[in-house]
Amino acid sequence: MARFKSAILGATGVAGQQFIEALLGHPWFEISGLYASERSAGKKYGEACTWRSPAPLPDAIAGTTVRLTDRILDDIDQYDIIFSALPSDVAKKSEGDCAALKPVISTASAFRYEDDVPILVPEVNAAQAPLVRRQQKERGWKGYVVPGPNCTTMGLIVSLKPIQDTVGIKRVWMTSLQALSGAGYPGHPVLDTHDNIIPFISKEEGKVELETVKTLGSFADGNVIPAPFKVSCTCTRVSVLDGHTLSVFVETNAPFTPEDYLAAVAEFNKKCAAEFGDLPSAPKQTIVMKKEENRPQPRLDRDLEGGMATVVGRVRPDPALDNGIKYVCLSHNTKKGAAKGELMAAEYLHKIGLFPA
């Protein structure tokens, strides 16, 4: 089939570069336009940005002229889909303007908490995808906005989904050890992070707590009903380049052993392979289980399945909780938790007939 023409907003930033890397060579989507701020507009992409990926920047992309984000509507008819890597504080207007005409897939939080917007992770909440029709009906849009979750939320919700589907969840506690790349570039000064842990990330805990119950909620009559459990978390920044590690404690609605979790993950992976295995960005195993007592580790495990797997280990009973289980999980924050994860959401929307809009 002819590939869909894609524009990337915020293309010169780190998140925009991640979209470029994810889209290069994609069988369904091609990069047809790159957009950024006035500082970059009018320049060749290779001159406008400092390329941060270890993969080489292709000459064709480097030679593409960057256009002004504020003028995207002048070109909107040229594109089938818009991928937005804009900062959240400026995303709302540009994404909304584009969504009035075309589908917008975003890494930003600008629309995440709107009642008619799904925070779409196909393996977790595919049933919520038709919520985009409510956007079109109530807002009068031809397109829609579909954001992904916060990169910390991603690993948590994927690891919780087999538990929710098997016995249900009563309460969740989580402490994150988040990679430096999650702060963007230039991020934290090196003297703040070397030999140190920063025990606070602005607004992160509230995002995780809200997004977890929304993504794991049910969908009925055009509405998302939040999951009926509470989440408490502490989010910290550690001196790791990529990969968010989470220490998770779960109180379940019925007895649930580590062996039960392993069986639930096996069934979950089987279901995901059947439903999403034909998507180009989908991992073969959605959750990779590690039996070694010292895994997962970011340096060893973050790139499993091309960075699209959630890696879980140290699954054990929690004696302090009624029906308690605890584990450690790892998710690649700049791949599954960012552009590559959003690309999989776009692939799923196409598969079920919601894209093109």
* pLDDT tens column, 68-81: 999 999 999 999 99
Active-site pick, 98, 151, 233, 272: 151
- Rounded-to-integer distance, Cα 81 and Cα 345, Å: 12
Q: Reply yes or no on whether 194 is catalytic.
A: no
Q: What is the pLDDT of residue 89?
A: 87
pLDDT tens readout for residues 140-188: 999 999 999 999 999 999 999 999 999 999 999 999 999 999 998 889 9
Contact 300, 280 (CB under 8 A): no
Q: Report the chain's terminal Cα–Cα distance, integer Å.
A: 17
Give this prediction's pTM. Answer: 0.97
Q: What is the pLDDT of residue 55?
A: 87
Distances in Å between the Cα of 356 and the Cα atoms of 35, 49, 143, 348, 350 are: 21, 30, 8, 11, 7
Contact 36, 70 (CB under 8 A): no
Q: What is the pLDDT of residue 1?
A: 65
Which token pair is 207?
A: 């995002």
Regions of the chain short of the pLDDT cut 70: 1
Active-site pick, 244, 272, 332, 350: 244
User: Domains plus CATH for the chain?
Assistant: 4-148+339-351 (3.40.50.720), 151-331 (3.30.360.10)
Q: Reply yes or no on whether 151 is catalytic.
A: yes
Q: What is the pLDDT of residue 225?
A: 98
